[in-house]
Amino acid sequence: MDVVESIDALRQARARITASVGLVTTMGALHAGHIALVEQARTENDAVIATIFVNPTQFAQNEDLSKYPRDISRDLDMLRQAGVDLVFTPTAEQIYPTGFQTWIEVEQVTQGLEGERRPGHFRGVTTVVAKLFNLTQPHRAYFGQKDAQQAAVIKRMVRDLNMPLAIRVCPTVHEADGLAMSSRNVYLSPEQRKAAAVIRRSLLAASAAYEKGERDTNNLRVVIESLLKSEPLAQIDYISIADAGTLKNIKGSSDKPVLVSLVVKMGNTRLLDNMLLPASLNTIEELTQILGGA
Ligand code: AMP
């Protein structure tokens, strides 16, 4: 596995790969969710490139940039074991040199949900992802369902800017008790970690109600809210029940696929998870097509 830090070295290593390339972009502190993306990339491409970059421009002022977990040697071991061919670990100075002033903004699908809670977040994400696409020139790039709005935003950017690659959205990987894997889970105290399983339980309860025929989003919201409120350590940031194609909130009911997104705060840690309903829509093809529209 080649590990390169500079843009020049990346370009040289990329030029040596003539076969198809799958890209997995990460902020490091890797877990099985990231590795699932790598494994999917391996099955669909001849070579896999991974990037590790804690992107400062996607963190708002009050967020956890300086304490975001970092463990590069462990990350590289995991990527090597997963069969990655090339890893790019740039510095912030290389990605944002002095004088940097070009940004990519996706206008609509960034409104609401995380975009509303984290001003500027998606501008940072789309700008860095576009740069990483330019630098690594992948045929396919892999994103996790856990950050469903991010996947929808990137799909939109790729379509709008005619970027020559396919976006693939892969199912969220969960811990045994149902907590979605996240680099930020290390911030949780043992009590918070235990309590966090309520997030998945709430989504599964909503899914069970949906399977029984419940389509009224107010009723689905009540199912989720009452479970979340039964856990004293969990503070609800938001419960969104949105059209999975547009990510606009649904009032009343809808016959189209629905994305239920939850953000729960445990102390200062924001934990995300979501579920596409009907829950039978869970293959990579379905997630890729439905989230953010075809
Ligand atoms: P991050 O390092 O958190 O920026 O995430 C890098 C990529 O991994 C993004 O596409 C995430 O959506 C994806 N990802 C993060 N957590 C998970 C998970 N639990 N399951 C699947 N994909 C994930």
Ligand 1 center to residue 93 CA distance, Å? 24
Counting from 1 in the atom list of ligand 1, the atom nearest the Cα of 172 is 20
Is 34 considered catalytic here?
yes
Distance, in Å, from the CA atom of 222 to the CA atom of 246, rounded to the nearest integer, reads 23
Nearest CA to ligand 1 atom 11: 144
Pairing of β 258-266 and β 235-243: antiparallel
Nearest CA to ligand 1 atom 18: 33
pLDDT per residue over 51-109, tens digit each? 999 999 999 999 999 999 999 999 999 999 999 999 999 999 999 999 999 999 999 99
Nearest CA to ligand 1 atom 14: 144
Domains and their CATH numbers in the chain: 2-170 (3.40.50.620), 183-291 (3.30.1300.10)
Ligand 1 center to residue 180 CA distance, Å? 10
- pLDDT tens-place values along the chain, 294 residues long: 999 999 999 999 999 999 999 999 999 999 999 999 999 999 999 999 999 999 999 999 999 999 999 999 999 999 999 999 999 999 999 999 999 999 999 999 999 999 999 999 999 999 999 999 999 999 999 999 999 999 999 999 999 999 999 999 999 999 999 999 999 999 999 999 999 999 999 999 999 999 999 999 999 999 999 999 999 999 999 999 999 999 999 999 999 999 999 999 999 999 999 999 999 999 999 999 999 998
Nearest CA to ligand 1 atom 17: 33
Q: How far is CA 243 from CA 214, 230, 253, in A?
A: 16, 27, 10
CA dihedral (239, 55, 181, 135) in degrees, to 10, reads 110
pLDDT per residue over 223-246, tens digit each? 999 999 999 999 999 999 999 999
> Which of 206, 207, 262 lies closest to 239 in space, CA to CA?
262
> Which of 84, 90, 74, 88 lies closest to 1 in space, CA to CA?
84
pLDDT of residue 291: 98
Q: Are 146 and 263 in contact (CB under 8 A)?
A: no
Ligand 1 residue neighbourhood (C-beta within 6 Å): 26-27, 33-34, 36-37, 143-144, 146-147, 170, 172-173, 180-183
Q: How far is CA 237 from CA 54, 117, 198, in A?
A: 24, 9, 14
Distance, in Å, from the CA atom of 178 to the CA atom of 227, rounded to the nearest integer, reads 15
| Angle ∠(107,112,113) on CA atoms, nearest 5 | 125
Counting from 1 in the atom list of ligand 1, the atom nearest the Cα of 180 is 19
Active-site choice (34, 121, 139, 174)? 34
Mutate to test the pocket of ligand 1, among 27, 34, 64, 65 (most ligand atoms within 8 A of CB): 34
Ligand 1 center to residue 239 CA distance, Å? 20
Say whether pTM exceeds 0.95. yes
Nearest CA to ligand 1 atom 7: 26
Distance, in Å, from the CA atom of 17 to the CA atom of 21, rounded to the nearest integer, reads 8
Ligand 1 center to residue 196 CA distance, Å? 18
Distance, in Å, from the CA atom of 217 to the CA atom of 142, rounded to the nearest integer, reads 30
Residue 283, exposed/middle/buried by CB under 10 A (0-12, 13-18, 19+)?
Answer: exposed
| Angle ∠(70,3,1) on CA atoms, nearest 5 | 115
Ligand 1 center to residue 83 CA distance, Å? 18
Mention every residue, 6+ apart, whose C-beta is less than 8 A from residue 6. Answer: 90, 94
Ligand 1 center to residue 99 CA distance, Å? 30
Q: Are 115 and 122 in contact (CB under 8 A)?
A: yes
Q: What percent of the chain has pLDDT above 70?
A: 100
